[in-house]
Structure 1
Amino acid sequence: MKFKRLLVTTVIAASQVALVIPANAAELVQNQPIAAAVSEQTTVPTSPSVSQNVNDGKNLVQPSGQTSGTSGTAVPQGTEIKPSDNQQSTNSGANTNSGTNTNPTTTDGTNTGTNSGTDTGSSTDTGNNGSAVPATQPATPSTDQSVEGSDSGQLILMMNSKKMYQNGKEYLAGYPMEVKNGVSYISIRAIVERAGFKFSYDSKTKETIIKRAADELRFKVNTNSYKVNGVTKAMKGKSYNVKGNFMVPLTAITNALSITYKVDSVGKRVIVNLSTLPVASFTISNKEIIAGETQVQYVTSSTSPIGLPIVNEEWTGRQDMFDTPGTYPVTYRVQDSSGQWSEPYTLNVTVNKPHTPPVADFKTDKDTYKMGELITYTDLSTDEVGIKDRVWENKQLAFFTPGTMTIRLNVVNVFGLSTTVEKTITITNETLYTQDEFNKIFVPAGEKYTFDGSQVPTWDKVRYSFVSEPVTLIRSNSPETVYSEGVLYRENAIGNTRFMIHHANSTGKSVKMYVIATNDNSETARLTQSSLGFGGPSTYAAAAGKASVSRYYESLQLGNKYKDMWIAPGESKIILNDLSASSMKQGDVISLLADLYSDHTLQYSVIMLGSEKDPFNSLPYLTALEPDIHNRGTYMEANRNIEFNDLIGEKPTRLLIGDNSIDPYLIGSDALKNGEYRLNAGNFGVLYRIKLYRVAPNTLITFNGRGGYYAGSIMVNGDIVQIPNSGGLNTPSENVVLFRSGDREQTVEFLFTAAPGSNLSVNLLFQQIPPKKNQ
Structure 2
Amino acid sequence: MNFKRLVIATFLAASQVAMVLPASAEEAVPNTPPSEANVSGQTVNNPANGNQDPNAVTGETVNPDQGQVEGQTEGQVEGQVTEENGGTTVPGNEQEGTGTDSTVTGGSTTTTTPSTNSLSNGTGAGQLILMMDSKKMYQNGKEYLAGYPMEVKKGVSYVSIRAIVERAGLQISYDNKTKETIIQRGADELRFKVNASNYKVNGVTTKMSGTSYSAKNNFMVPLTAITKALNMPYEWDQKGKRVIVSVSTKPIASFSIGNKEVISGETQVQYLTNAYSPSGLQIVNEEWIGREEMYMTPGAYTVTYRVQDSSGQWSDPFSLTVNVRKPHTPPVANFTTDKDTYKMGELITYNDLSTDEVGIKDRDWENKQLAFFSPGPVSIKLTVTNEFGLTSSIEKTITITNETLYTRDDFNKIFTPVGDKYAFDGTQVPTWEKVNYTFTSDSTTLIRSNSPETVFSEGVVYRESAIGDTRFMIHHANATGKNVKMYVIATNKNTTETARLTQTNFGFAGPNQYATGVGKASVERYYQSMQTGSKYKDMWIAPGESKIILNDLSATAMKQGEVISLFADLYSDHTLQYDVIMIDSSKDPFVYLPYLSVLPSDIHNRGTYSDATRHIEYGDLIGTKPVRLLIGDNSSDPFLVGEDGPTGEYKLNAGNFGVVYTIKLYRVAPNTLITFNPRGGFYTGNIMVNGNIVPVALSSGLSAPNENSVLFRSGDREQTVEFLFTAAPGSNLSVNLLFQPLPEVKQP
TM-score range, shorter chain: 0.7 to 0.9
Residue 532 of structure 1 pairs with residue 495 of structure 2: no
CA 1:311/1:443 → structure 2, altered by over 3 Å: closer, same or farther?
same
Residue 599 of structure 1 pairs with residue 573 of structure 2: yes
Q: How far does residue 585 in structure 1 lie from its aligned partner after superposition?
A: 1.1
172-181 or 556-565: which moved more?
172-181
Alpha-carbon distance in structure 2 between the residues aligned to 1:373 and 1:484: 58
Aligned residue pairs: how many?
614
CA 1:636/1:278 → structure 2, altered by over 3 Å: closer, same or farther?
same
Q: What amino acid is aligned across from residue 668 of structure 1 in structure 2?
A: G
What is the Cα-based RMSD across aligned positions, in Å?
3.8
Q: How far does residue 503 in structure 1 lie from its aligned partner after superposition?
A: 0.5
Residue 616 of structure 1 pairs with residue 590 of structure 2: yes
Q: How far does residue 125 in structure 1 lie from its aligned partner after superposition?
A: 4.0
Q: How far does residue 436 in structure 1 lie from its aligned partner after superposition?
A: 0.8
Alpha-carbon distance in structure 2 between the residues aligned to 1:669 and 1:121: 75
Secondary structure of 2:43 counterpart: coil
CA 1:120/1:656 → structure 2, altered by over 3 Å: closer, same or farther?
farther
Alpha-carbon distance in structure 2 between the residues aligned to 1:396 and 1:248: 75
Partner of 2:478: 505
Partner of 2:86: none
Q: How far does residue 548 in structure 1 lie from its aligned partner after superposition?
A: 0.7
610-619 or 461-470: which moved more?
610-619
Secondary structure of 1:440 counterpart: helix
| Equivalent residue in structure 2 for 1:122, among 39, 61, 78 | 39
CA shift digits 1:8-47 (9 cap, x unpaired): xxxxxxxxxxxxxxxxxxxxxxxxxxxxxxxxxxxxxxxx
Q: Is the 8 A contact 1:666 1:679 kept in 2?
A: yes
Partner of 1:7: none
CA 1:329/1:495 → structure 2, altered by over 3 Å: closer, same or farther?
same
CA shift digits 1:91-148 (9 cap, x unpaired): 75775734353469xxxxxxx9xx9x999743864389xxxxxxxxxxxx9x9xxxxx
Alpha-carbon distance in structure 1 between the residues aligned to 2:434 and 2:616: 14
CA 1:248/1:102 → structure 2, altered by over 3 Å: closer, same or farther?
closer
Q: What amino acid is aligned across from residue 491 of structure 2 in structure 1?
A: T
Q: Is the 8 A contact 1:464 1:642 kept in 2?
A: yes
Alpha-carbon distance in structure 2 between the residues aligned to 1:436 and 1:588: 40
Alpha-carbon distance in structure 1 between the residues aligned to 2:548 and 2:668: 45
Partner of 2:632: 658
Alpha-carbon distance in structure 2 between the residues aligned to 1:305 and 1:279: 8
CA 1:171/1:504 → structure 2, altered by over 3 Å: closer, same or farther?
closer
Q: What amino acid is aligned across from residue 149 of structure 2 in structure 1?
A: E
Q: What amino acid is aligned across from residue 616 of structure 1 in structure 2?
A: F
Q: How far does residue 296 in structure 1 lie from its aligned partner after superposition?
A: 2.1
Partner of 2:739: 766
Q: What amino acid is aligned across from residue 513 of structure 2 in structure 1?
A: T
| Equivalent residue in structure 2 for 1:741, among 714, 734, 739 | 714
Q: Is the 8 A contact 1:652 1:767 kept in 2?
A: yes
| Equivalent residue in structure 2 for 1:404, among 352, 377, 390 | 377
Q: What amino acid is aligned across from residue 39 of structure 2 in structure 1?
A: S
Residue 178 of structure 1 pairs with residue 178 of structure 2: no
Residue 101 of structure 1 pairs with residue 73 of structure 2: no
What are the within-5 Å matches in structure 2 for residues 562-601 of structure 1?
562-601=536-575
CA 1:119/1:292 → structure 2, altered by over 3 Å: closer, same or farther?
farther
| Equivalent residue in structure 1 for 2:676, among 685, 703, 714 | 703
CA 1:659/1:274 → structure 2, altered by over 3 Å: closer, same or farther?
closer
Q: How far does residue 306 in structure 1 lie from its aligned partner after superposition?
A: 3.0
Q: How far does residue 238 in structure 1 lie from its aligned partner after superposition?
A: 5.1
Partner of 1:278: 251
CA shift digits 1:357-380 (9 cap, x unpaired): 333221111000011101011122
CA shift digits 1:74-101 (9 cap, x unpaired): xxxxxxxx99995664575775734353
| Equivalent residue in structure 1 for 2:448, among 460, 475, 478 | 475
Q: Is the 8 A contact 1:91 1:122 kept in 2?
A: no
CA 1:444/1:156 → structure 2, altered by over 3 Å: closer, same or farther?
same
Q: How far does residue 269 in structure 1 lie from its aligned partner after superposition?
A: 2.6
Partner of 1:750: 723
Q: Is the 8 A contact 1:527 1:565 kept in 2?
A: yes
CA 1:410/1:174 → structure 2, altered by over 3 Å: closer, same or farther?
closer
The answer for unaligned runs of 5 or more in structure 2 is: 1-6, 46-113, 117-123, 171-211
Q: How far does residue 438 in structure 1 lie from its aligned partner after superposition?
A: 0.7
Q: TM-score, normalised by structure 1?
A: 0.72
The answer for unaligned runs of 5 or more in structure 1 is: 1-81, 105-111, 129-140, 144-150, 198-233, 241-246
Q: Is the 8 A contact 2:169 2:279 kept in 1?
A: no
CA 1:431/1:250 → structure 2, altered by over 3 Å: closer, same or farther?
closer
CA shift digits 1:631-678 (9 cap, x unpaired): 1110000011111112222221111100011111000000111x1100
What are the within-5 Å matches in structure 2 for residues 344-383 of structure 1?
344-383=317-356
Q: How far does residue 311 in structure 1 lie from its aligned partner after superposition?
A: 2.1
> Considering only CA atoms, is the larger Rg found in Structure 1 or Structure 2?
1
Q: Is the 8 A contact 2:639 2:654 kept in 1?
A: yes
Q: What amino acid is aligned across from residue 305 of structure 1 in structure 2?
A: P
Partner of 2:702: 729
Q: Is the 8 A contact 1:393 1:408 kept in 2?
A: yes
| Equivalent residue in structure 1 for 2:310, among 333, 337, 349 | 337
Alpha-carbon distance in structure 2 between the residues aligned to 1:102 and 1:250: 10
701-710 or 408-417: which moved more?
408-417
Alpha-carbon distance in structure 1 between the residues aligned to 2:547 and 2:704: 44
Partner of 2:431: 458
Partner of 2:615: 641
Percent of aligned positions with the same letter in both sequences? Answer: 65
Alpha-carbon distance in structure 1 between the residues aligned to 2:361 and 2:231: 50
CA 1:738/1:155 → structure 2, altered by over 3 Å: closer, same or farther?
closer
What are the within-5 Å matches in structure 2 for residues 620-631 of structure 1?
620-631=594-605
Higher relative contact order (CA 8 A, sep 6+): 2
What are the within-5 Å matches in structure 2 for residues 216-365 of structure 1?
262=234, 264=236, 266=238, 267-271=240-244, 273=246, 275-365=248-338
Q: What amino acid is aligned across from residue 236 of structure 2 in structure 1?
A: D
Alpha-carbon distance in structure 2 between the residues aligned to 1:186 and 1:644: 78
CA 1:774/1:248 → structure 2, altered by over 3 Å: closer, same or farther?
closer
Secondary structure of 1:374 counterpart: coil
CA shift digits 1:499-552 (9 cap, x unpaired): 000011111111111111111222221111111111221211111101111111
Q: What amino acid is aligned across from residue 328 of structure 2 in structure 1?
A: H
| Equivalent residue in structure 1 for 2:660, among 687, 692, 696 | 687
Secondary structure of 1:672 counterpart: coil
CA 1:449/1:191 → structure 2, altered by over 3 Å: closer, same or farther?
closer
154-163 or 495-504: which moved more?
154-163
CA 1:160/1:342 → structure 2, altered by over 3 Å: closer, same or farther?
same
Q: Is the 8 A contact 1:695 1:748 kept in 2?
A: yes
Alpha-carbon distance in structure 2 between the residues aligned to 1:685 and 1:437: 35
Q: Is the 8 A contact 2:302 2:321 kept in 1?
A: yes
CA 1:273/1:425 → structure 2, altered by over 3 Å: closer, same or farther?
same
Q: What amino acid is aligned across from residue 548 of structure 1 in structure 2?
A: S
Alpha-carbon distance in structure 2 between the residues aligned to 1:196 and 1:770: 86
Partner of 2:519: 545
Q: What amino acid is aligned across from residue 697 of structure 1 in structure 2?
A: P
| Equivalent residue in structure 2 for 1:523, among 497, 513, 528 | 497
